[in-house]
Amino acid sequence: MKYSSKTGVFNGNVLVSKNNKIIYDKSFGYTDEKKINNLTTNYRFNIGSITKEFSAVALMQLKEKGKLKLNDTVSKFLPELPKWANKVTIKDLLQYSSGIPNVNWKSIKNDKDLYDGLMQIDTLDFEPGTNYDYNNNNIFLRQFIIDRITKMPYKDYVEKYIFNTCNLSSALLTPFQTEENIAKGYNATLVQDKPDLPITGGTYITTSDLLKWSSCLYNKKVINKKSIYELGQHFALPETQSALGQAKFSKTKLIQHIHDGRAGNYEAIIYSNIEKKFTIILLDNNYNGKIIEISEAIAMILND
């Protein structure tokens, strides 16, 4: 890690846990592009696509309560959407096999714009369940469905039934007001990322709370074993992601979980070998595209 920091390929926080004990917990580099303040372990980072686990788990919680089925169509919960919603299922949203076109980011300023964009879609890119396209309209639709079923804002639901359940005291969902200990994303030329759009669903969290999240998930405190298995299934093509990123099972038991994310110049990864009882977490605010390689190198050390 010192080498990675010294050579400029890692600026962020790293945590390694083995046998349910934290064995390495360090910060490297700076809080922002000014390079004045050093990071500490209580800084929060945007975890990019790892945040998609929360909407997936929320849907499975509702399934366990009998509020939905995976083969339910989107139109069952959002009947005002166009005809394509009669074809797309919850399972399609979880496995990115919906065929819904991606978000037209040029026209997006808030959650209402996202919903208006969905209302304006007239045709799908492919028949649901026949192909794979990893895009964020799947995620926003999950959130809108959770809003509608629970009759509470998605943000409130996640804070109450996921963050509080797992005691994730540092976790923040966008949008939020100015908070302390937020690492700022910046690029190689020391330009800070643009502020977040006021859109629901992005997550800022510390390494220690991301470890708590993984433990909470693996120990079935938020959803049961069957739900974890269903979330770990992906569309039947190579290089496709499940709602948990990459999940490996022995029969129906989760044995490995790897999920990475990026948002602007933030990058993040969870790398868990559940059989060997170790988890590696890297959170970075100065993108270099090396965290997967670094996590694999740490895993090789832990595997002797």
Q: At what angle do helices 52-64 and 136-150 cross, to 10 degrees?
A: 40
Confidence of residue 178 (pLDDT cuts 50, 70, 90): confident
Question: Which among 51, 48, 45, 50 is positioned nearest to 205, based on CA atoms?
Answer: 45
Beta bridge partners of 189: none
pLDDT digits (tens, 9 = 90+) for 106-122: 999 999 999 999 999 99
Q: 30: which 2 tokens? A: 């700076």
One DSSP character per residue, 133-149 reads ---HHHHHHHHHHHHHH
What average pLDDT does the segment 233-254 reach?
97
Q: How far is CA 40 from CA 10, 30, 37, 90, 250, in A?
A: 14, 9, 9, 40, 37
Looking at residue 278, its pLDDT comes to: 98
Q: What is the amino acid identity at position 47?
A: I
Cis peptide, bond prior to residue 198, ω within 30 of zero: no
Beta bridge partners of 203: 173
Whole-model pTM above 0.85?
yes
Spatial contact of 16 and 298, defined as CB atoms under 8 Å apart: yes
> Rg (Cα) of the chain, in Å, rounded?
19
- Mean pLDDT (the chain) is 97
Confidence of residue 177 (pLDDT cuts 50, 70, 90): confident
Q: 27: which 2 tokens? A: 């910060």
d(CA 50, CA 38): 25
Question: Which among 22, 27, 17, 23 is positioned nearest to 286, based on CA atoms?
Answer: 27
pLDDT digits (tens, 9 = 90+) for 181-215: 999 999 999 999 999 999 999 999 999 999 999 99
d(CA 168, CA 299): 25
